[in-house]
Structure 1
Amino acid sequence: MAAFRLTVDLVVLTIRAGALNVLLVQRGIPPYQGEWALPGGFVLDDEDLDAAAVRELREETGVTAVGAGHLEQLRTYGAPGRDPRGRVVSVAYLALLPDLPAPTAGSDASGAAWHPLPGPCLAFDHREILRDGVERARAKLEYTSLGAAFCPAEFTIAELRAVYEAVWHTTLDPRNFHRKVTTTDGFVAPTGERRTGVGRPAELFRRGEAEVLHPPIMRPART
């Protein structure tokens, strides 16, 4: 039986300028040198998969704030021929993070940048991985509280609504969304503070203790 090598790849999503963005690296070495790809790389012999994902993200992009958001395994990709270097199996991860500064390329990446979706053409089978990661994020916003993972520690309902609109690529009714969010047990909790500035001071919330939403907040039907 032919030996195979193991890699990790990361779909890192955030909201920037009101749009859903993915973190991509420009490959500095063959194969696909100069092309854009998801951050990732080979797992070391003595390394846990989660640790490899965090390390590769740090080395290739300088992003270290994974703990401030959400990180989970997405799925495994192992189709023959997906990597011209040989039989390579990849464990993909999905990370949802609050808005971060511009990344810094390192390791074997010659560039790193946030790209609004759908983004450029990608190396390997990374377009498929990205598509799966975005759909996972969209589905999770329906039945879990992970929408708040895109927000800072304290946020307004309008800011949370902007997350849903960016991830779902749609427009939501402000009053209806506010009612659903604030009446769903454990989704958000008021901080007792308000954000002052232009216009009426907006009430601030933090993420509640619930992980699963009852009832779920469903995506609008596609027309």
Structure 2
Amino acid sequence: MFSSQERPDGVSVAVDLVIFTVRDGALQVLLIERGKEPFLGGLALPGGYVRGSEGLDAAAARELFEETGVDPARLHLEQLRAYGEPGRDPRGRVFSVAYLALGPDLPVPVAGTDAATAFWMPVKKAQSAELAFDHAAILSDGLERARAKLEYSTVATAFCEEPFTVADLRRVYEVVWDAKLEPSNFHRKVTRAEGFLVPTGRHRVADLGRPAALYRRGGATTLTPPLLR
């Protein structure tokens, strides 16, 4: 979780990262195996201390790259919330600002200096695992934020490599929401949503059935009308 810098005295500020991707047909979260105490060998979300010369967003981007090797430019990255319960870190008073990151079929991560390993784990499995610090709560909050954002924003396209089909996008919604959606109804809603999808004029030829139209993400950030669970 933490960088190799010496921990400052008193109150400290850290960032933690909830990074989701869709791999092998499932929503997965990036976890690390901690390479040092506390919780040596335990599972945790990646993250670390904010350095004196950087802001929160910069610290999140740096820790993301240092501990996982994932390029921050490939992700949708936003602040989730702050966590500051006494005792959340056995070493002292640490406030953490958590970030939510979403990306399309991200590569196998490379662990940084403070992590023994870094790997993707299906979210359902991670929810039943014992995570260090208060990371189980952060993971739960991140999952609910991701699910809610798919209702009211166009962020689902962050999981898709362009160009993509409506079926590709529907699978994102299904794995994040953990629910099956009716294909024709979904197609009608997303193609009519203003600024959500832009037709490329090209098609993907399938082995069976008709060629599927290909799209790229539009300029809208909010989904009008919303696509409710």
Same fold (TM over 0.5): yes
Query: 1: CA distance between counterparts of 2:116 and 2:141?
Result: 26
**Residue 177, structure 1, aligned to residue 186, structure 2:** yes
**Residue 211, structure 1, aligned to residue 218, structure 2:** no
Aligned length: 217
Aligned partner of 1:84 in structure 2 is 90
Query: 2: CA distance between counterparts of 1:153 and 1:67?
Result: 15
CA-atom RMSD in angstroms: 1.0
Gaps of 5+ in 2: 1-8
Deviation string for 1:69-126 (max 9, x for gaps)?
Answer: 3100000000000000100000000001111121111211001000001312210000
Q: So what's the TM-score if we normalise by structure 2?
A: 0.93
Displacement of 1:30 in angstroms is 0.1
Consecutive aligned runs of 4 or more in structure 1 exceeding 6 Å deviation: none
Deviation string for 1:23-59 (max 9, x for gaps)?
Answer: 0011000000000100001111111111111111111
Q: So what's the TM-score if we normalise by structure 1?
A: 0.95
Displacement of 1:21 in angstroms is 0.4
Counterpart amino acid of residue 101 in structure 1: P
Aligned partner of 1:62 in structure 2 is 69
Aligned partner of 2:20 in structure 1 is 13
Counterpart amino acid of residue 215 in structure 1: P
**Residue 150, structure 1, aligned to residue 159, structure 2:** yes
Counterparts of 1:123-138 in structure 2 under 5 Å? 123-138=132-147
Deviation string for 1:118-150 (max 9, x for gaps)?
Answer: 312210000000000000000000010000000
**Residue 31, structure 1, aligned to residue 31, structure 2:** no
Counterpart amino acid of residue 62 in structure 2: R
Query: 1: CA distance between counterparts of 2:74 and 2:213?
Result: 22
Identity of aligned residues (%): 60
**Residue 95, structure 1, aligned to residue 76, structure 2:** no
SS across alignment from 1:218: coil
Counterpart amino acid of residue 137 in structure 1: A
Counterpart amino acid of residue 29 in structure 2: V
Aligned partner of 1:108 in structure 2 is 114
Query: 2: CA distance between counterparts of 1:67 and 1:111?
Result: 22
Aligned partner of 2:79 in structure 1 is 73
Aligned partner of 2:57 in structure 1 is 50
